[in-house]
């Protein structure tokens, strides 16, 4: 039962935004199929991939069954897991597709704004996306700022601290990833899933 509609599992919509070439499609591909393609074709319009993952309830989420707050109850609720279907919308970064973006971020639970740590202009473009979301998206939208291509550390041109400070300012989560070697990719998507409030009842 991998179809969320049939199994009744919770599903979340995630949108990937950011300049062309920063690695949005590669991140989705790495997460869903564990592959990397050095010469990937650029995305046209948008593409969709999905994957179900099982994550623990985050420690801050109280399990309703246990009224007691003893340490053992807390530990028990931490061990409970839930399966979440991640529906990942990978958008095209080109300017001509920009007007389509609201279709993808409206109704999304999370937006992952990706830049390339070796390309400062992609970090500037990311800030435009963040402002657009701030003005037009739901205030509930979870923002993740993702510095991709961490495997190219020697060519880094955006300091990690700069990315982190911006994320803090925007109330966003900050992560660094490499779609090439897989570093941080699973953690980024499972981190999103863990922050989604569980359906109670």
- Interface contacts to Mg ion, rule CB under 5 A: 24-25, 43
Classify residue 47 by burial, with Cβ atoms within 10 Å: 0-12, 13-18, 19+: middle
Q: Using the rule CB under 6 A, is 23 a contact of ligand GDP?
A: yes
Q: How many CB atoms lie within 10 A of CB 1?
A: 10
- Radius of gyration of the chain, Cα coordinates, nearest whole angstrom: 17
Q: Which stretch binds ligand GDP (CB under 6 A): 52-60, 104-112, 136-144, 148-156?
A: 148-156
Check: CB of residue 113 under 8 Å from CB of residue 130: yes
Place of tokens 């919770």: 10
Taking the C-alpha atoms of residue 75 and residue 183, their distance in angstroms, rounded to an integer, is 29
Query: Shortest approach of ligand GDP to residue 48 CB, angstroms?
Result: 13
Residue from 149, 158, 192, 194 in contact with ligand GDP (CB under 6 A): 149
CB 175 to ligand GDP: min, Å: 12
Per DSSP, the three-state class of 197 is coil
Could you give the CA distance from residue 97 to residue 112 in angstroms, rounded to a whole number?
Answer: 17
Tokens for 165, please give them.
């400070």
Using the minimum distance from each CB to ligand GDP, give the nearer residue, 30 or 196.
Answer: 30
148 binds ligand GDP per the rule CB under 6 A? yes
What is the pattern of x (binds ligand GDP, CB under 6 A) and - over residues 75-114? ------------------x---------------------
Q: Which residues bind ligand GDP (CB under 6 A)?
A: 20-26, 37-40, 42-43, 93, 148-149, 151-152, 178-180
């Amino acid at each position: 039962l991998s179809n969320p509609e049939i199994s009744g599992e919770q599903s979340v919509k995630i949108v990937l935004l950011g300049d062309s070439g920063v690695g949005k499609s590669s991140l989705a591909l790495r997460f869903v199929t564990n592959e990397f393609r050095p010469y990937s074709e650029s995305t046209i319009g948008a593409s969709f991939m999905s994957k179900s993952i099982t994550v623990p309830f985050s420690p801050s989420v109280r399990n309703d069954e246990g009224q007691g707050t003893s340490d053992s109850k807390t530990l028990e609720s931490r061990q409970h897991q839930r399966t979440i279907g991640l529906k990942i919308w990978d958008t095209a970064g080109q300017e001509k597709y920009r007007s389509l973006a609201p279709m993808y971020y409206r109704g999304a639970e999370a937006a992952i704004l990706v830049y390339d740590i070796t390309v400062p202009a992609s970090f500037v473009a990311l800030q435009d996306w963040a402002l657009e979301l701030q003005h037009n998206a739901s205030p509930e939208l979870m923002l993740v700022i993702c510095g991709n291509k961490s495997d190219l550390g020697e060519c880094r041109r955006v300091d990690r601290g700069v990315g982190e400070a911006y994320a803090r300012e925007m109330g966003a989560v900050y992560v660094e990833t490499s779609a090439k070697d897989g570093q941080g990719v699973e953690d980024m998507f499972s981190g999103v899933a863990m922050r989604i409030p569980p359906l109670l009842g």
